[in-house]
Every structure is written in structure tokens, then in C-alpha cells.
Structure 1
Amino acid sequence: MINYKPIQTQKPARFSPLIRRSICTCCVCIGTCATTVSALSGALTGRVLDSQSNDPISWTTVVVEETSRGQITDEQGTFFFSDLPVGRHVIQTLHISYHDTRFAVEITAGDTTRVDLHIGHQELLVEGVRIEDQRVGSLVPLDEPDVIFSGNKLRQNLSQTIAETIDYEPGIAQRSMGPAPARPVLRGLGGDRLLILEDGERTGDLSATSSDHAVAVEPMTTQRIEITRGPETMVYGSNALGGVINVRRGYVPVERPEKAGGAFSWQGESVNKGLSSGIEWIQPLGRTLALRADGSLRKAGNVSTPRGDLINTDIQTGNVSLGLSTVHERGHVGGAIGAYRSDYGIPPDPSGGHPNGVTIDMERQHAELRAQWRGDMGIGLQTLDIHHSFSRYWHAEYEDRRTLGMEFGVLTHCGAAQMRWGPSGARQRSALGFWYEYRNYASAGLNFTPDAEEYAGAIFSYSKWQHGPWKAQGSLRADLRRVEPDQISEALLVGQVEVGRIRTRSFSGLSGGFSLQYQPHTQISTGATFMRTFRAPGIEELFSKGPHLAAYTFEVGSSNLDSEQAWGTEFFVEFRRARNYLSIALFRNQIDGYIFPKNTGQRSWRRADLILYQTVGLDAMMHGVETSFGWHFTKRWKTVGTLSYVRGTLPDLGDEAIPRLPPLQGRIGLTYEPREELEWTGSLRWANDQKRIGPFETPTDGYAVLDFSGRYNVYWRGHLHAFSVGLQNSTNAVYRKHLNRIKELLPEPGRSARLLHKVFF
């Protein structure tokens, strides 16, 4: 078990009119950006593909040498240049894992030239330019994620937390107690029903257990963020009814670059006087080795709101990692180590539990080993992946920056082995694997939750098939979990709430999913997804007993809780034509034994300034809709939008509302793109009133907030420079979000200007 020594160090307008006015303002402001486009020009579009697998290659810099204009390919490997002078041009591709290559193309007036640029180990002859390249391969996902943040999209939305970075996606909301501990909520599901992974591994932090606990992942040096729903989530966990958010950082190199390279970025923000920077570097060593390093720093002060500064919301974060691999044609073996530290504040309790706020110091160290073998290994086996990770997590909560309130520590060992059949891009692929986890949990301070050890294991399978217009996915998973507290006690009462007998608990369950998609036309697809998930209660939900000042609660677990069993159903339809799209999804989740902390309305007998929350398991029902669209109504102008809604009830309590669900909300934006390297966007994000609330919750008024953003990419002196600017809450509107635990204290942040600069070298 983890043993702690005493800590001596001191630690430091009405809704509808506002929408109408905002839309008008948006159109006027963006309209001023219009420029004249020359008629004596043409366009170039295409894809960068791997010559062996025909897979698209993202993060490739494509440069038109005569104009010094550059772009980075998206997740589909595509690029687009408009207004190129008529005639012959040489374009160059730059990628850290490929030779620099050059191609010749011919641009004709008023036309769009389309090319596919295949790069790989084969010799290619394209318009008289000879290219010879070699790829060492990388881990290919079983299926494409539902949502990908990378390239321009990631840079434009990059914020100080993962939750804020992906906040504008349909169905996404933020659970928060100030900016630092924000965590995503998807379709009303948060906690560990929405898994947050780093390079496919669990982070080992405690962000899923309480709203004051931050996610121990720094977005500054993130390569891409993937959101996955459906049957493939069973590869990562049995409880991901909400989905999986995977933050790809590439700690362990899986490719050996031909030359050294990397990127440096910095970002500034006015609302909190924040400044952050990050650097990534990868270096070939010898004939087979690859060395990768990254690091980042972030510092921000108190958040400014239209009603004054939100005190004790400052944050300081540092992150560093180092990875080394030996890479061969048939795979790679490597490891990485990393460290993350964050000191952040929780604002004062509106009820007076801690009038000066709480300061949290958090540390995480991790190490991981990964190995992959590729090629025909018999019985159709194409790929074997093995990985193991270790995480040491610690955080302490201080009152008045001096007095220790609570302390947590978790040691986590986690690993998996996965076998895959079928090459990348095949119409039929399958995977079979097992997963294991060991957690050693300890707490100290005012909390009386017993120390405990947790053992978990699972076997899983996943398959996908495609035949003509039909596509199907299926998965199965079996889980075992055992929780062993270090002390046994009889049932006891905390006030009038029964905690139950502290004892060893074991849980087991089956989960799985099936998805069927039909595409009768290249522009239309429709389908349905069916899921069954299993979730065992966590250590804190079973055995908590004590005040949690940073969360404004006195928490009492229930050792008699059973596991959750959930059934999820989704029906969807998508229309896509060229660059236009419309997506609509209807979903319904039925959860037996939905586990959540219920406000009892009672004051703690030990701390009369704290409300007593009892962990309960009740049947729950959630259903809702989400939609998104994008429409290019001219060559330069497009509009995009999202809308999402979820409604939750507790049938055991007479259809009482599930607490802390987001209201009907959405976003609509207007984008002007005079050139492919330049883009301006104005967007209106809005939410309806949330008056359907649980007991002891307070309603929240609707709002409409106007934002502006822009991006500019330029190839200068041999390097690609990417700039992103933003102006959030441009009208300095006063508004509140329903999932913000401190909404009664002060409103959301006021007007904020943001600038990001990233240079690739």
C-alpha cells in the first residue's frame, strides 16, 4: 500500500433578441473580409497516399514552390490550393517519416487539377521527377474514429484543457469547477462512462471521480484527439457507453524519420493573462533507432468575467516526456517516460465550505513499453501489439494554501496484448486481445476512505465487415474486477445515511456492440448501433466517507452497490456531397443501477457547512438527438452548425430528472476562405434555459455568445508557420453554464483574445 508522511511544505439580454443581433453582427463582420479573386488562375486538390497500403498520410506539408504557399494535409491526406497562376508548378511534400519529394503539375485557367501523390518505398516517376522513399509503418486503428481533431481544426480550438478544446462538437459539454479541472461530458454521460485515454492507455488520474480533479493530460503538444463511439469502444473498456476520447501524443516512436524535425508552438490568452509554449522533437539515431522528446509549460492567472475576477483560478502546469524505439520493417520495440505537474486553484465555495478556495497540487509520472510485429505470422495473423504502462499519480488539496485537507495517491499498472487479422484497408478485419489493470489506491487527510487494491482483467474481440453497400461492426468483451480494502468494518451510519459494511467486492459482466450501416448511394448512408455495457462501481463510490472541501461536498459511499448494466441504441443518417454534409443521430440509453452521488439535502454532522452526498444506484433513462451540418453555398463561403439535446429521468423516483444534464444547445458559424491558407469564421454558440433539474439544483438561463476566429498558414524561409487567432465572447456577455459547479459565484469568462503560433522544422 502507499504510505504517506506528514506534509510540511506550505502551498501555496434576453435570449432571442441577442441571437438575432449576434447573427447580424457575425454576417457584417465577416463580410468585410471579402476580396477579389483573379480569373486567370486555377486550383489544385489531391491526396497524399502511402504507395504500399494506399492509406492517406496526414500531417504532410505540401508546398507550391513557385508561390511559397503551403498546407498540411488533414486526416484524409487531402490538400487544396486555390488561385494558382496558370502554368507548370512544382509541388513538394515534406513529412518527418518520408523523404522530401517533388512533383510537377500543370494548372489550367478556371479548372481544378486533381492529383494523388503516392509516396513509399517504391520508385515512382511522376512528370519526369524520380522519387524513392521508404516507410517503416505505424499502428493503424481498427476503424476511423467518429471525430478527429488535428491540423488546422486542432490549432483553432486548442485551449488549456482537453474538455475546452473539443467543447464545440455536437453532444459535448463541460463539467467544471473553474477552468483547470474541466472534463468532457458526451450525451449527458461523464465520469468513467466517457473514457479519456492517452495513446490508447488510461491516464491513471482521478478526474473521473470528482469535479475538482483535473485530467492529467496537457493539450499543448497533442498530435490529434480522436472521439470514438460504437462497438470499437469495447477494445478500450466495458463502461464506455458515452464513448472514448483518445489523445494521441506518440510518446513511443513507431516510425524512424529520415531526418530530425519537430515543431515549436506558443499561445497567449487575455482573459487570464495566460501564456503557454511547447516543443516536440524526433531524431533518427543510427540505422534503426528513433528518439522523441517533448515538453510544455503553461501559466495563467485568475479568470476575468464581466462581473469581476474569479479568484483562485490560476494554474501552472509543466509536462515533459522522452521516448526511444528501434524500428524495423516488421515492427518496432520501444519505451517512454514522462512527468506531468499541475498546481491549480478551486474557487471559494458559494455555501461557505471554504471561503478562500482550495489549492490543488497534482503530479503524475508514467513509463510505458510498446512492441509491435507486422506481417504474415500464420493463421492469417497480420499484427501483434503488446504494451504495458505504469503510472504514479498523487495530488493534495490545501485550504488557504497551508492546511492539508485531502491527499490521494494511486499506483497503476495497465497493459494489453492484441492480435489483428486482415491488412489495413481490408474489407474484413478482426482483433482479439486481453487487458489487465492493477490499482493501488490510498488517501489521507480529512477523508476516511480506506486504502484499497483493485484488480481487473478482460478479454475482448472486435470485427468489421464490408460487402457492397453494407458495412457492419461487432464486438464482445468479458470483464472481471475485484476491490480489496485494507480494512474490514461492520455497517455504520453517517448521520442518517448508511455506508454499509466495508469488505472485499467482486464484479463480473459481459458487454458488446453491433453496428450496421447501409450506403445505397455515394452521398447517403444510414444505420443503427446497439450497445450493452458493464460498469463496476469504483473505490470511492463504494467506500468514501468524509468531507471533500474542494468539491463542496461531504461524500458517503455505499459498499452494497451492484454493477451498472446499460443498453444503448442509436439510429443515424448522413448526407454528403462534395464538401457539404448533414448528419442526424437519435439515441436512447437505458441504465440499470445508474451510479451517481445524490444530494440528500442534509447537512453533514461533522461539517455543517457541507451538504451530504450519498452514492446510489438507480435505474435511469436517457434519450436525445444530435445533428451537424456544413454547406458551401459559394466557393469561398460556408456555414456550419451543430445541435444537441439529452433528456434524462430516474423512473425509480417517479421520473425525476437526472441531475446535472446539459440543456438544448448548439452552434452556428459562417466561414469565409479567400485562399486555402487563410480563413475567417464567426460563430454563435447558444444554449436554452435548463429548468428540468434534480432536487436541490438551481435552474440556469439560456445564453447566446458570439465568437470570432481565423487562421493563416505561410511557408517562410523553409518552414511552415501556422497562426490561429480567436476572440471568444466578443460582446462580453454575462452567461452561465449549467454544468459549472460555481455558476452561482460568478458567470463564465468574459471577452478573451487568443493567439497561437506554431512553426514546423
Structure 2
Amino acid sequence: MPMTPRSFPARLPICLALAAALATALPMTAAAGAPAESTADQDAHRTVDLGSVEVRATPLPGTAEDLTRPVEVLAGEKLDEAKANSLGETVGKLPGVQSSYFGPGVGRPIVRGFDGARVQVLSDGLGSGDVSTVSVDHAVTIEPFLANQIEVLKGPATLLYGSGAIGGAVNVVDGRIPEQATTTPLEGRAELRAGTVNNERTGMLRLDGTSASGKLAFHFDALHRETGDYDIPGFAESAEHLAEEGETPDPSEAGVLPNSALRTDSGALGLSWIGERGFVGVGYSLFNTRYGVPGHAHEEHDHGGPIDDADEEEAGVTIVMDQRRSELRGGLSDVGPFASARFKFAATDYTHTEFEGREVGTVFDNSSREARLELVHRPWGGWNGAFGLQWSDRDFVAIGDEAFVPATQGSDTGLFWIGERDLGPLKLELGARHDRLDVRATPEALAPQRRNDRKFEAQSLSASLRWNLNEAMHLSFGIDRAQRAPTAEELFSNGLHVATGRIEVGDDALAVETANRAEIGLHWHSDRIELGVSAYTVRYDDFIYLASLESRRTPGTVLTDGGSEVNLWTQNDARFNGMEAEATLHLADNDSGAWDLRVFGDIVRGKLDGTGSRDVALRVFHGDHTHSHDARLAGNGNLPRIAPARIGGELRWAAGPWRASLGAVRYLRQDDVAANEHESPGYTLVDAHLAWHRDGDGGNAFEVFVDGSNLLDEEARAHTSFLRDLAPLPGRGFAFGVRTFF
């Protein structure tokens, strides 16, 4: 049933729970006393050595420091400082990682230039169950504020997670189903924050506890967020776009981005039985959000407040999204020939409705189920390893104006093995995976004479090596052969994609794409310096991409139909080359405090590697009408919306209960653009963080913080965004609030 604008969970219970948590936690912290604990004790509460954090995205135990393949981890105070409204923005300052952008409610991670269906987003090892890969204006249904840690696997992760992870994976660990007893009967954290750039109000509460017997453990979390339209340095439309349209902006329209407000509610309950050899647990969660789509709003808008029903006539296009998820997880040690066994299952029901004012435009429904079994075997011939079996299916339906993808069903079954072995100073990892995929579309929804059922097989092979030259330095090498099957959108799309303003035409004859990757990395550390550098190249055979076309009838012009640009899903060889570097210099640790300087940079180039242009004939299908077109397709050149090169730096300081940082990231001009794509100017984003932390008795703690973003109030337009010329990033803003840990 389509959601209505009023179908949000009541906010009062969540707000009361947050207030109660803070009310009970604050007195415990204040009563703690009088003398403050030592600096070491205070820092230990929130400071996390990210290199020593265990990575849960792989079945073999390992930390970010000793894994053979590249991975980044956010946890502790670093995660607290990075948390944002979207997952992409939260991880967007890690080396090699940026964010797509379709307003503040939408941001998927871009890993080494890959995004969409090539980057798998996971909730503790299982797919998110949303439709964020179908369209660039669809949000990821994972709330980063509730995460314990976020892991980014760079390079193909198909070995572990199948076809949709050929460009990498982002795993959000939230602990919603407890796997072990807590150290105290009840513990948790809460946060209240407010923001100036968008009138943000966010509250979050998390509780974890264990019964007196130690056998039953529970989890509860809740979050509520409201923001208004956010402030921008100038006009929503870029100067280049205004000049092309011949428009003169109204000065009264400057300073705010219309239709950029959002509201989010998220919550979960989990319960587990904990035994001596393992656990079994169940969980239920919801994610409900409503956000405006910038660039499609009317001139009138609400300047500072959250979305209200009274503003519907001026709200433009608004997306209301609701997801309900049930999970079962279990783990058992010492299972015959296996050291451990883990099982995960999730059933997800997802609906989102796109409103144009008060009118329903399009309704998307997606029901998915996914199961995963991991068996870690005992050492065989010196090899530690794990077998895995993964299965998933989904039923997808879109009804309405933006139903450019027909109703589809899909299934995927994958079997894999991953193993590692120490050979003196060398650590070797090998792996293999085989997937069988089936994608089916409703025949009556397709253009005549199109195939509606495709079956694929995909194989992935991987080898990586870590060479410990000495205690301070190691080299890493990796080679992969990974395959990805085309998605339903790439095969069967045929119609106007309202979010991008383009007609997308799929190709039901697309084949599996194959990526061959090679990477070399160096890590060196001493008492004063930590340094990491990596370089990689990826050669794609039959790379699937959305191509701009030239009309053969009027050479030199972009192919259009009914005034909308026509794009074709097609294949060609492609090559990606990139490099990343990060260094941390420990400047001083004395009476003035601990001073660290971090610098990083990354660059990636994506180009087609074909032999030249070719002619194509295609049909655009609109209901009962079919329009035929003759077009020309370029066979080489740059790929569109490739993330620009960056260089950044950050100075961090900590002394006693205080910590602070000041950082800047320079996004360079992107002039390596595709056909019919404009260049993007560079920009610099400056941010700062300040926090005061106080530890109390019994593990209680209290923290007050202030975060500043885009302190130069610079006009910044992400080259990776379809809304680059319509929606700049937010201007100068400050967020402030309080966190408690108990």
C-alpha cells in the first residue's frame, strides 16, 4: 500500500527515551567526582587503534593492520567525528573513498571510482535490502549514527559477497543482534545534537544488556533526525548552468537550497541466547525517512524548518521511504571438522513512494531474502580457511511515472572458499567463488521481442600476499579476476528516468563483465611516522556503462526523444588506474599535549579502452508507442562522473579531557571528462572539531562537542553528482551537542 505523507512513526516515544537516557546518565557522570581520572584512562575510553580493530567483513579473524587486502576502518572518536546524514558522506574522507550526492538524504559510497551496483553496502555482512542501486536519488537504508564501526573493503570483494561487490564493499557493524554477554548488566550510549546549516535536530539512544544468568542478552536502539532546507553560499544553480539557460537569478533566491529538508526515524530490537559454545539471536528493525529531491522544487519553500504537511504544495518532489527487516543469526564453535560455524538470514520488506506535491508519482516495492553460512575449517596442510554459501532473491515492482524498470525477480547462489597461510615473513591468501544468477522481468512490461529471462554464471579468483620486510615495513601484492552479472536495470530499462532527466534504454543481450586487478602497496611505521602508499590498475573486459549517444540524423548533437537525452546501457573494454597515499606524523607528545599531523591524497582515472565509434539502432518504448532511432556510440574516451583527485591534511591535538582537530581537503578540478560532460571546478572544504570528555565511575562518561564544516563557506559542487549544476554542497555550518556513555 503506498505510503502517505503522514505515515511516520510517532516521534514522542523516541524523544522521551532519549531524554530519559541523558537524564540518568548525566547525574552518574557528574557525581563521579571530583578528581578526574588519568589522561590515559580518559583516552582509552574512546580512542581506538584502528589498525588493531577486528574486521568482521571476512570470516577469518583479522585486523585492518594484518589483512593482506586493502581495508579502511572507522570506529571510536574518528567515527563520531565523521558521522553524517548519509553513509557516503560518513566514509567520504577516507583515502580512495568519496560520495555520490543527490541532496543531503542520499549519498552512496564511491570506492576507487566505482559506485552503484559495483559497491555492495552491507549491514554486518548481509545486503541492505534497499533499491539504492536502481536510481541515484534512492537512499541507503542504513543509519551511520547507530554504527559501532564501518569497514570499507577496497578492491573487488566479489570473493566474499558476490557479483555486486566487484568494486568494493562497505560493511556497517551495528551489533543489533548480540553475540556475547555485556560486561555489565546494562550499558549504552546516547547523543543529542543540533546543527546550524540546516536547523538539524538529532537524538540517538542505544542500550545493550545481559540477564543475571548471563544467558540472555538484548539490544535496543532508536534515532530521530529532522533538518530543514540547508544554507548555501550563493544560488542553487551554477553560473555555468544559468548562462546556458539564459537566466538571471532572483537575489531573493540566494542562500538556501529549496526542497533539501529531511526527516529520519530508525530503531531496532534484538534478543540472543548466549551459551558456552555460541549464540543464537533474532532481531527486528525499521528505517523510515522522508527527504526532498533538490533541483525539482518549486520556487517557494520552507527556509529553515523540517518538512510539514502544510508545505506539501511547495515541497516539489519528496520521497517517503519505509523498510522493515527481520533477522536470524547464530554461531557455534567446535563443529566436527570446523572450528566454527556462523549463519545469517534477513528478510526485508521495502517500500518507497515518490510524491510530486501531494500527488503520488511512483511507488517502488522490494521484497528480499538473503542467507549466508560460513564454516571456518581447522588447519589443513598449514592453511587456515573458510567455506561459505550465500543465497539471495528479490521481487521488485515499480508503478507510476518513474517506472522505467519493469517488475523483476532475481536470485543469486554463491559458493566460495578463502584460505591463508604463513610462510615465514610471507602471508599468502587465496580464494575462489562461483555464482549462479537469474534475472527475470515481467514479459508484458517489456517492449516487444525483448528477452525477459537471463541466466548468468560468474567466477572470481583472488590471490594476495603480504611480505613483512621487518617489524616496521611490509609490502602487499594483490591480483584478482572478478566477474559481475548485469542488473535488471541494465538489462530491461526503457523509459524516462525522472531523477536524471534522461531516457534509459537497457540491453537484454549484455554479457558478464570481467575485471582483472593488480595492486601493490607499501606500509611503513616508526615511533614518529606512519606511511601507507598503494597503486592499482583494473582492466575491464565488457565493462557495462550508461552511454551518451550522438544522433546520426543530426551529427554533432546529442540524441534526444521528446526533449530528453537518450542514454544506452552498453559494454566496452575499460581501464581504471589509481593511487592512494596517507601519512601520519606524530609531531609531539609533551606538556602541551599530543600533536599529530595527517596528510592524504588519492587519484583515479577511468577510460574506455575500445577501438572507435560504432553505429547503433535502438527503440525507445513508451507504453503503446515505440520510437526508433539511429545513433552513434563512442568507443573510447573518459568515463563520466569519475571522482576528482584530492589532497588533504589534518592537525590533531589532545590534552587531558580535550581534543581538537583542524583539517582541509582540496578537490582538484576535474577536466578528464566524458563526451557531453562539463568540467567541474576545484574547491576546498575546511572543517574543525572540538570535544571535552569526562570519565566517571563505573565506565560512565560524558562528552560535549562542537563540529564545524565548510568553514570557508565555499561553493562546492561534487563532480560525481547528477545534481552538480542544481545542488551545491552545504555552506558553513556548526553542529554541537552532547554524548554520554554508560
TM-score normalised by structure 1 residue count: 0.79
8 Å CA contact retained: 2:141, 2:287: yes
SS across alignment from 1:304: coil
The C-alpha deviation readout for 1:726-748, integer Å capped at 9, x for no partner, is 21111212232211222212432
Match of 2:607 among 649, 662, 684: 649
Matched, 1:273 2:242: no
Aligned partners of 2:545, 2:57: CA distance in 1, in Å?
40
The C-alpha deviation readout for 1:208-248, integer Å capped at 9, x for no partner, is 23211111011121111111235765222244232211000
8 Å CA contact retained: 2:135, 2:499: no
SS across alignment from 1:745: coil
SS across alignment from 2:289: strand
351 and 591 in structure 1: CA distance in 2 versus 1, 3 angstrom threshold:
farther
CA drift of 1:721 comes to 1.5
Residue type of the alignment partner of 1:453? Q
CA drift of 1:73 comes to 5.6
8 Å CA contact retained: 1:262, 1:281: yes
Aligned partners of 1:655, 1:758: CA distance in 2, in Å?
52
8 Å CA contact retained: 1:406, 1:548: no
Match of 2:388 among 428, 433, 436: 433
Match of 1:183 among 105, 108, 113: 108
Match of 1:713 among 693, 696, 703: 693
Aligned partners of 1:361, 1:159: CA distance in 2, in Å?
20
Residue type of the alignment partner of 1:217? I
Q: How many residues end up aligned between the 2 structures?
A: 634
Matched, 1:463 2:419: yes
Q: Which residue of 2 aligns with 1:68?
A: 37
SS across alignment from 2:105: coil
8 Å CA contact retained: 1:292, 1:324: yes
Match of 2:714 among 733, 742, 747: 733
Residue correspondence of structure 1 range 276-287 to structure 2 within 5 A: 276-285=202-211, 287=213
CA drift of 1:678 comes to 2.2
8 Å CA contact retained: 1:489, 1:502: no
8 Å CA contact retained: 1:172, 1:185: yes
Residue correspondence of structure 1 range 198-277 to structure 2 within 5 A: 198-229=123-154, 234-257=159-182, 258-277=184-203
Q: Which residue of 2 aligns with 1:696?
A: 676
Greater helix share, structure number? 2
Residue correspondence of structure 1 range 299-698 to structure 2 within 5 A: 299-307=226-234, 308-349=255-296, 357-375=316-334, 377-379=335-337, 381-399=338-356, 401-422=357-378, 428-446=383-401, 447-487=403-443, 501-578=450-527, 580-600=529-549, 602=558, 605=561, 607-608=562-563, 610-635=564-589, 636-652=594-610, 653=634, 655-675=636-656, 677-698=657-678
Residue type of the alignment partner of 2:282? G
Residue type of the alignment partner of 2:82? N
CA drift of 1:656 comes to 0.5
8 Å CA contact retained: 1:156, 1:725: no
CA drift of 1:624 comes to 1.1
SS across alignment from 2:256: strand
Aligned partners of 1:668, 1:77: CA distance in 2, in Å?
18
SS across alignment from 2:291: strand
CA drift of 1:599 comes to 2.7
CA drift of 1:367 comes to 0.4
Aligned partners of 2:372, 2:658: CA distance in 1, in Å?
43
8 Å CA contact retained: 1:230, 1:515: no
SS across alignment from 1:550: coil
657 and 179 in structure 1: CA distance in 2 versus 1, 3 angstrom threshold:
same
Match of 1:150 among 43, 60, 75: 75
638 and 438 in structure 1: CA distance in 2 versus 1, 3 angstrom threshold:
same
The C-alpha deviation readout for 1:505-537, integer Å capped at 9, x for no partner, is 000011021101111111111121111111111
321 and 673 in structure 1: CA distance in 2 versus 1, 3 angstrom threshold:
same
SS across alignment from 1:462: strand
Residue type of the alignment partner of 2:192? W
8 Å CA contact retained: 1:491, 1:502: no
Aligned partners of 2:533, 2:522: CA distance in 1, in Å?
6
8 Å CA contact retained: 1:273, 1:300: yes
CA drift of 1:637 comes to 2.1
Residue type of the alignment partner of 1:443? A
CA drift of 1:335 comes to 0.6
8 Å CA contact retained: 2:404, 2:504: no
Aligned partners of 1:465, 1:458: CA distance in 2, in Å?
24
Q: Which residue of 2 aligns with 1:159?
A: 84
Identity level (%): 25
76 and 630 in structure 1: CA distance in 2 versus 1, 3 angstrom threshold:
closer
Aligned partners of 2:35, 2:282: CA distance in 1, in Å?
42
8 Å CA contact retained: 1:231, 1:515: no
Q: Which residue of 2 aligns with 1:56?
A: none
Give structure 2 stretches of 5+ with no counterpart: 9-31, 65-70, 235-254, 300-312, 551-557, 611-633
Aligned partners of 1:11, 1:372: CA distance in 2, in Å?
37
CA drift of 1:557 comes to 1.5
Q: Which residue of 1 aligns with 2:242?
A: none
Aligned partners of 1:541, 1:304: CA distance in 2, in Å?
36
Residue type of the alignment partner of 2:113? G
8 Å CA contact retained: 1:558, 1:615: yes
Q: Which consecutive segments of 4 or more residues in structure 1 shift more than 6 A?
A: 6-12, 137-140
RMSD: 2.8
Q: Which residue of 1 aligns with 2:29?
A: none
Aligned partners of 2:347, 2:2: CA distance in 1, in Å?
25
TM-score normalised by structure 2 residue count: 0.81
11 and 231 in structure 1: CA distance in 2 versus 1, 3 angstrom threshold:
closer
Larger mean CA deviation between 506-515 and 342-351 belongs to 342-351
Q: Which residue of 2 aligns with 1:100?
A: none
Matched, 1:296 2:277: no
Residue correspondence of structure 1 range 63-142 to structure 2 within 5 A: 67-69=36-38, 70=42, 71-72=44-45, 74-76=47-49, 142=61
163 and 449 in structure 1: CA distance in 2 versus 1, 3 angstrom threshold:
closer
SS across alignment from 2:588: coil
SS across alignment from 1:156: helix
Residue type of the alignment partner of 1:259? P
8 Å CA contact retained: 2:206, 2:221: yes
Aligned partners of 1:507, 1:624: CA distance in 2, in Å?
30
SS across alignment from 1:213: coil
CA drift of 1:612 comes to 2.2
8 Å CA contact retained: 1:220, 1:277: no
